[in-house]
Amino acid sequence: MPLFGKKDSGKKAKSKDAKELNKQVSIEEKYNLHGLLGTGAFSEVRLAESKETPGEHFAVKIIDKKALKGKEESLENEIRVLRRFSANNFDVNSSNGTRLTHPNIVQLLETYEDKAKVYLVMELVTGGELFDRIVEKGSYTEKDASHLIRQILEAVDYMHEQGVVHRDLKPENLLYYSTDDDSKIMISDFGLSKMEDSGIMATACGTPGYVAPEVLAQKPYGKAVDVWSIGVISYILLCGYPPFYDENDANLFAQILKDYESVMDVHLTGEFEFDSPYWDEISDSAKQFIKNLMCVTVEKRFTCKQALAHPWISGNEASSKNIHGTVSEQLKKNFAKSRWKQAYYAATVIRQMQRMALSSNNSATGYGTTSANTQTGNGNTPGSSETMDVSKEPTAAHSETAHKLTSLNDTSEPTEPGTSSINDTHNHQ
């Protein structure tokens, strides 16, 4: 049966992905669902443990069908994109059955459906958020930033080769795989991603501060919007504050759009600067790299491959000077969790696993029915205006950021099916 019980009225099933949802076996037959990791408007994320392989953990995103009614295509699109990088997806053009996966992209492993809910079994990522780890480090250099950006570029380049545009790259969607010092970085949250073959992209969607000028101008756009976002992230990684900022979104967008309409053959960037003293110790190569990523002229903006070939990434031009003091101070000042306005309820994976280990004799019956307050160890309830400070502990890869689902409201401007308007998203500054 198609997703959400839709009937086929003589036409082709709307989505192959929808039909592939596993409705023959219930998720409870394969997994023990444990503590709450995060909540959103229409969904929650829970820690799950495999019954076949005890001790193997996953993140399960549970979507309420009734709450999502009328916006089903948003979920279908997310599943369609995630399946492109699924461990069960093979390259049909490969003679040796190469899997279409990437080590820096969080994977969708399985999908289930019952009458009330859809379940997405995802790879569990426990290493915490990008900025938190930088602040906690004792030393941080341009070379460290270059290494991070290279991983992001490689993953996004792979996505682009597969015909997927992420459309919402930002630090909150970049998570460490584990708590190991040498952990890789992972790209998560594909709620606004789009397949290029699904039609022209023109909807203004994403997160203020990271969105490309052509998106704000409501012009048709493509893969280059992701490169712009990586440029913004690169800028922040080297100074600790964003290139564009204003409390008023209209003014913020004006900064990003500066010179866009008048650009012809001139290589211009948006209205941002490399301010002294914060950029005094940063190499010219790094600055040039960022300018190439944040070029207002789409045709002159670097592709991921061009960025990967830049000497700041592929050569030895990234400085080894310790910039941790300045960067961490600015990150704490500009990106404190209390100012990110994240409307989700988070709990730590480590704490969940510790409790599971201590109460293993109750794991088959207890955790799936215990209240969220008990599982997370504080008195906040899901949806509370207060959020748990998890800056010192690893978080789940799929703790919901609210703007993905809560902003799927009707807008005055036409939007692509299953997307949200930029004006409905949260400004994290």
Q: Which residues contact 359 (CB under 8 A, 6 or more apart)?
A: 366, 367
Active site residue 284: no
Contact (Cβ atoms closer than 8 angstroms) between residue 59 and residue 106: no
How many other C-beta atoms lie within 10 A of the C-beta of residue 72?
Answer: 21
Residue 275 burial class via C-beta count within 10 angstroms: exposed 0-12, middle 13-18, buried 19 and up: exposed
Q: Answer for the pair 77, 3: CB distance below 8 angstroms, yes or no.
A: no
Q: What is the DSSP string of 145-187?
A: HHHHHHHHHHHHHHHHHTTEE-----GGGEEESSSSTTPPEEE
Sequence-distant (≥ 6) Cβ neighbours of residue 404 within 8 angstroms: 40, 168, 189, 191, 192, 420
Say if strands 117-122 and 57-64 run parallel, antiparallel, or are unpaired. Answer: antiparallel
Distance of alpha carbon 104 from alpha carbon 363, whole angstroms: 31
Residue 168, both tokens = 């919402």
Give the phi and the psi of residue 192 in degrees, each rounded to 5: -110, 5
* N-term to C-term CA, the chain: 44
Closest CA to 293 of 238, 246, 350: 238
The rounded distance, in Å, linking the Cα atoms of 185 and 198 is 28
CB 100 within 8 A of CB 90: yes
Q: Which of 132, 157, 168, 226 is catalytic?
A: 168
Q: Is 11 annotated as a binding residue?
A: no
Query: At what angle are helices 142-161 and 224-239 packed, to 10 degrees?
Result: 170
Angstrom distance (rounded) from CA 254 to CA 59:
39
Amino acid code (one letter) for 276 = S
Which residues are marked as active site?
A: 168
Residues in binding site: 61
Residues in binding site for ATP: 61
